[in-house]
């Protein structure tokens, strides 16, 4: 019987802002005390996480003096040594401070754009020192309420200039650091630029160093846009761009709920986990989620343990799916191929075209073949519901 305990191989990580979330929302104040970074690291150590990620200002206040930052880092590093937790990813808060009210890299104010670059560079230096090899950029304020304020193409150019600048900085410093861009369709801006993972993937190819930049897709963000998350992840993987992943959960059409992973859409999350495990994704499995507002810190631990446990359960279900004789027989039947058209597998050739031109297809006969997807899906559901 599997234990479903988290393993180091899965690299389960949480942000300081996730288990440290105090439950503040637009309609109410905090319901939990703010834990210090050291306390959060201890909590994560207790629940068996692999690592902790952070925004610069989750760790030190925006106006901290260099001496204050040094002291905070010393304490943080000590907590990391005590617990064995890693820091695989770091990021910058470019959304909370009022200076970012009209964006950071895409702000209309050149001083804000410059300040944003300075803030990222300083935070990167610290991130690299803490061992991070990945830097996430989520542009929560990079957007508009009214398109009268900015030309969307100018905004893309500003975004591109900023990312090119940061890549050159990384190269010049000799850092072993890659960037991962995170898309979100809206909230807190009415419309955020590059709203989906697919849009980010297209944009990356316009950069000076596309090889240094990938994506950080988040379940909730694609669900907000009504999209199939596993399909977005597959596209990113296929492009060699799945550098990181933000796991959480929620139904379509809602605000960014960031619920416990696997708490809402079981089937979708199953196919996501199956995909990640089947292809051998080896990056962090990061939980960008937080506990219900009803919880105290015991409940936050339940939340964190639940995120990892559900992943491990779905991973075991994926293994069962791959070994289930009936399911595999159905899949074989569905994918049956007598090899008659394998001449098309090698790509284009004039020989292939002339063979293709001369073929006659039994259109009606082919259409009449039933595809047992109902049976396949029912077996999948029964497996997930625990009766197989």
Catalytic annotation, residues: 55, 58
Interaction between residue 218 and ligand GLT (CB under 6 A): yes
Interaction between residue 91 and ligand GLT (CB under 6 A): yes
Footprint on residues 12-31 left by ligand GLT (CB under 6 A):
17
First vs last Cα of the chain: how many Å apart?
15
> Closest Cα partner for 48 from 22, 21, 19, 75?
19
Please report, to the nearest 10 degrees, the dihedral formed by the alpha carbons of residues 316, 318, 323, 324 taken in order. Answer: 100
Interaction between residue 222 and Mn ion (CB under 5 A): no
Q: Which is nearer to ligand GLT, 57 or 380 (CB)?
A: 57
Cα–Cα distance measured from residue 115 to residue 103, given in angstroms and rounded to the nearest whole number: 11
State the angle between helix axes of 297-323 and 37-47 in degrees (0 to 180), rounded to the nearest 10.
40
Write down the residue that tokens 């204050």 correspond to: 68
- Which structure tokens are listed for 261? 């992973």
- The three-point CA angle 366-369-372 to 5° equals 145
Q: Which is nearer to ligand GLT, 91 or 107 (CB)?
A: 91
Q: How many CA atoms lie within 13 A of 301 on its CB side?
A: 12
Cα–Cα distance measured from residue 357 to residue 252, given in angstroms and rounded to the nearest whole number: 45
Interaction between residue 136 and ligand GLT (CB under 6 A): yes
Q: Which is nearer to Mn ion, 222 or 246 (CB)?
A: 246
Interaction between residue 193 and ligand GLT (CB under 6 A): no
Interaction between residue 203 and ligand GLT (CB under 6 A): no
Residue closest to ligand GLT (Cβ): 138
List the single partner that 17 binds among Mn ion, ligand GLT, none, CB under 5 to 8 Å by kind: ligand GLT
Burial (CB count <10 Å: 0-12, 13-18, 19+), residue 186: middle
Interaction between residue 102 and ligand GLT (CB under 6 A): no
Write down the residue that tokens 């977005």 correspond to: 232
- Minimum CB–partner distance for residue 269 and ligand GLT (Å): 17
Spatial contact of 90 and 124, defined as CB atoms under 8 Å apart? yes
- SS3 label, residue 72: helix
- SS3 label, residue 179: strand
Residues facing residue 12 across a β-bridge? 285
> Closest Cα partner for 14 from 86, 94, 92, 119?
86
- Minimum CB–partner distance for residue 140 and Mn ion (Å): 9
Interaction between residue 222 and ligand GLT (CB under 6 A): no
Burial (CB count <10 Å: 0-12, 13-18, 19+), residue 165: middle
Interaction between residue 142 and ligand GLT (CB under 6 A): no
Binds ligand GLT by CB under 6 A, chosen from 138, 237, 259, 321: 138
- Minimum CB–partner distance for residue 245 and ligand GLT (Å): 10
- Minimum CB–partner distance for residue 166 and Mn ion (Å): 19
Footprint on residues 161-220 left by Mn ion (CB under 5 A):
218, 220
Write down the residue that tokens 């210090």 correspond to: 36
List the single partner that 58 binds among ligand GLT, Mn ion, none, CB under 5 to 8 Å by kind: none
List the single partner that 136 binds among Mn ion, ligand GLT, none, CB under 5 to 8 Å by kind: ligand GLT
- Minimum CB–partner distance for residue 203 and Mn ion (Å): 18
Interaction between residue 249 and ligand GLT (CB under 6 A): no
Footprint on residues 27-66 left by ligand GLT (CB under 6 A):
55
Q: Which is nearer to ligand GLT, 244 or 305 (CB)?
A: 244
Cα–Cα distance measured from residue 77 to residue 291, given in angstroms and rounded to the nearest whole number: 26
Q: Sketch the per residue contact string, 237 through 266, with Mn ion: x for CB under 5 A, - otherwise.
A: ---------x---------x-x--------
Cα–Cα distance measured from residue 136 to residue 177, given in angstroms and rounded to the nearest whole number: 10
Interaction between residue 270 and ligand GLT (CB under 6 A): no
Footprint on residues 318-347 left by Mn ion (CB under 5 A):
none
Binding residues with ligand GLT: total (CB under 6 A): 10
Backbone angles phi, psi at 206, to 5 degrees: -95, 0
Interaction between residue 288 and ligand GLT (CB under 6 A): yes
Q: Which is nearer to ligand GLT, 192 or 313 (CB)?
A: 192
Interface residues toward Mn ion, by CB under 5 A: 218, 220, 246, 256, 258, 288
Interface residues toward ligand GLT, by CB under 6 A: 17, 55, 91, 136, 138, 182, 218, 246, 256, 288
């Amino acid at each position: 019987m599997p234990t479903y305990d988290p393993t180091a191989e899965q690299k389960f990580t949480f942000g300081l802002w996730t288990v440290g979330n105090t439950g503040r929302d637009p309609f109410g104040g905090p319901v939990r005390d703010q834990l210090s970074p050291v306390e959060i690291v201890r909590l994560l150590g207790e629940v068996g996480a692999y690592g902790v990620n952070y925004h610069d200002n989750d760790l030190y206040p925006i106006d901290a003096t260099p001496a204050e930052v040094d002291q905070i880092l010393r304490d943080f590093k000590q907590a990391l040594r005590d617990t064995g937790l890693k820091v695989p990813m770091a990021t910058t808060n470019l959304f909370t401070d009022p200076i970012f009210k009209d964006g950071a890299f895409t702000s209309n104010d050149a001083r804000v754009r410059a300040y944003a670059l300075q803030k990222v560079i300083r935070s990167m230096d610290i991130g690299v020192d803490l061992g991070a090899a990945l830097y996430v950029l989520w542009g929560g304020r990079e957007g508009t309420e009214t398109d009268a304020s900015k030309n969307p193409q100018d905004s893309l150019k500003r975004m591109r200039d900023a990312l090119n600048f940061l890549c050159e900085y990384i190269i010049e410093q000799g850092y072993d650091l890659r960037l991962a861009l995170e898309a979100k369709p809206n909230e807190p801006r009415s419309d955020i630029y590059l709203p989906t993972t697919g849009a980010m993937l297209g944009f990356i190819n316009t950069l000076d160093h596309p090889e240094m930049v990938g994506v950080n897709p988040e379940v909730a963000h694609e669900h907000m846009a009504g999209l199939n998350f596993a399909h977005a992840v597959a596209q990113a993987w296929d492009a060699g761009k799945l550098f990181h992943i933000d796991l959480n959960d929620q139904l379509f059409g809602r605000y960014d709920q960031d619920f416990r992973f696997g708490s809402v859409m079981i089937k979708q999350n199953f196919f996501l986990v199956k995909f990640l495990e089947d292809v051998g994704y080896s990056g962090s499995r990061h939980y960008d989620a937080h506990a219900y507002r009803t919880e105290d810190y015991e409940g936050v631990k339940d939340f964190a343990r639940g995120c990892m446990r559900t992943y491990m359960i779905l991973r075991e279900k994926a293994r069962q799916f791959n070994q289930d004789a009936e399911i595999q027989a159905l899949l074989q039947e569905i994918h049956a191929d007598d090899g008659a058209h394998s001449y098309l597998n090698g790509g284009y050739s004039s020989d292939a075209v002339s063979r293709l031109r001369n073929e006659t297809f039994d259109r009606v006969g082919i259409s009449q073949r039933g595809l047992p997807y109902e049976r396949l899906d029912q077996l999948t559901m029964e497996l997930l519901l625990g009766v197989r």
